[in-house]
Chains A and B, each alone.
Chain A
Amino acid sequence: MHISLNSSNIIFGWLLNFMPATAVGIIEMVLIALAYLTLFAVLGLYLVLMERKVAAWFQLRIGPNRVGFQGLLQTMADALKLVSKELTGTVKADKFLYNLAPYFVIISSLMALAVFPFTKNLQAFDINIGIFFLIAISSVGVIGILLGGWSSNNKFALIGAMRSGVQTISYELSIGLSLLTMILITGSLQLSEIIEVQKNGWLILQGHIPAIIAFMIYMIAGTAETNRAPFDMAEAESELGAGFHTEYSGMKFAYFFLAEFINMFIIAAIATTVFFGGWLSPFGITESIPWLGIFWFLAKTFVLVFLMMWFRWTFPRLRIDQLLTLEWKYLLPINLVNIVIMAVIVWLNLTIQY
């Protein structure tokens, strides 16, 4: 078993002097997994705080500002509260699946986090089918939602889960096709390779018109994929209680909640990597300082996360038939035409490069 964890070569290289390679590999994997789990928790908590602050500013409120400086510890306190709460459940729930569901959701988003290149060489798992892996993993999360909704033996949860299934299966298509449009330029599915291509201009510039169309489709489908407003049919508060996680409490609810925000981060991070050059700085201004790539990657990602929050606090929720109309009658045909346009552009070498 050998998985190349290319971020760790410097740190773990010297361990090989006095340990067998297998032991070093295991230590490496455990430490990196712990690092990603920490990142996951911190990122999730602060995305929740950001959502609440942004929502407050959109609604001319102030938002949480009591716990810690300017409310920075608010979500930490919320998480502590959720940890201390009792885990309740329905009597007739399918206990095994009911307990399993949150882990499906959270593990799928944690796995997706592993393949992102945060900066040059800071990437846990540089797989050569990167984008494909991300698309595949992001659709595993819906199994957790379906299981959670079905096994909690609650009609609201079931309806929410079914809606989520419909939605994810439909919009999965648009995400895949819009990323495929960009892959026509890069010619590679590997994320580090995709960023390498963008040294001559971010893909949204290189691919100009079809790339912008693909980006718009990607953002719409990505918002739908994460079950966020205006596509939050799965947990439409006014119709279904809390949707698929109605029956969950305490830490299991927190897993669903965190996973939703991490998924939002993942969607934004894919968009950053594929459309906006990942950790590359604009016009290469900080090319000599590679660790600043983390800053650029996170900055671009958080701008896109903000865009998704902007969507959420602007648009009203779609009805289920409108949701499917949007996907099958608008996004999908446009996407297919867009791929053909992009193919022609790549074929005739009409991409913009500097």
Chain B
Amino acid sequence: MSYFSEIYNGIKTLLTGMGVTGKYFLHSRKGAITQQYPDNRDTLKMFDRFRGEVVMPHDENNEHRCTGCQKCEIACPNGTIEIIWDRAIEEETGKKKKIIDKHIYHLGMCTMCGLCIEACPTDAIKWAQNFENSVYDRTQLTRVLNKPGSKVKAGVED
């Protein structure tokens, strides 16, 4: 008897599969995931999980969240990140404090593994969604992530 129930199950599961793909077929016009890239360059928006390059967001007061802890530099497996830092004296408390001078990021060496972003305790760096990264000279791939004159946001270090 299992012979016939096997046939029945076989046909039923095959029809289920065809139903699923048939549904996709009917919705393909609206739901096509293909991006016709150079044509829709102006409107193309990358999805959230896309890893373009590492950036450091600054707020409107030109303040970032990087404390210069160098955890990202240590986490990076291929030496993409270099942090040039300095010691400064905090005005209110008079304590010595580490501040970043330059957060240097070599895009040309980056494998987009994301370990630096995971390691960052203050969420100072994150992924950008840009993807047109080609340049004519590889020195242009070395980016300084903190903007000139920027400083660390108050309260990040606490």
The reply to whether A313 and B36 form a contact with Cβ atoms under 8 Å apart is: no
Question: How many of A's residues come within 8 Å of B, CB to CB?
Answer: 15
The reply to whether B34 and A61 form a contact with Cβ atoms under 8 Å apart is: yes
Chain A residues whose CB sits within 8 angstroms of the CB of B22 once the complex forms: 310
The reply to whether B31 and A60 form a contact with Cβ atoms under 8 Å apart is: yes
A62 at the binding interface (Cβ < 8 Å): yes
Minimum CB distance partner of A310 in chain B: B18
Chain A residues whose CB sits within 8 angstroms of the CB of B34 once the complex forms: 56, 60-62
The reply to whether A314 and B32 form a contact with Cβ atoms under 8 Å apart is: no
The reply to whether B18 and A58 form a contact with Cβ atoms under 8 Å apart is: no
Partner pick for B25 among A58, A311, A315, A334, CB 8 A cutoff: A58
Bound CA span A310–B18, Å: 7
Q: Number of contact residues on B: which range applies? A: 10 to 19
Known A62-B36, A330-B7: A313·B31 in contact at CB below 8 Å:
no
B50 at the binding interface (Cβ < 8 Å): no
Shortest distance in angstroms between A316's beta carbon and chain B's nearest beta carbon? 9
Partner pick for A60 among B14, B18, B20, B28, CB 8 A cutoff: B28
Chain A residues whose CB sits within 8 angstroms of the CB of B7 once the complex forms: 330, 334
**B: which residues have CB within 8 A of A?**
7, 14, 17-18, 20-22, 24-25, 27-29, 31-34, 36
30 contacts between A and B (CB under 8 A): A54-B25, A56-B28, A56-B34, A57-B25, A57-B28, A57-B29, A58-B21, A58-B24, A58-B25, A58-B28, A60-B24, A60-B27, A60-B28, A60-B31, A60-B32, A60-B33, A60-B34, A61-B32, A61-B33, A61-B34, A62-B32, A62-B36, A310-B18, A310-B22, A311-B18, A313-B21, A314-B14, A314-B17, A315-B14, A315-B17
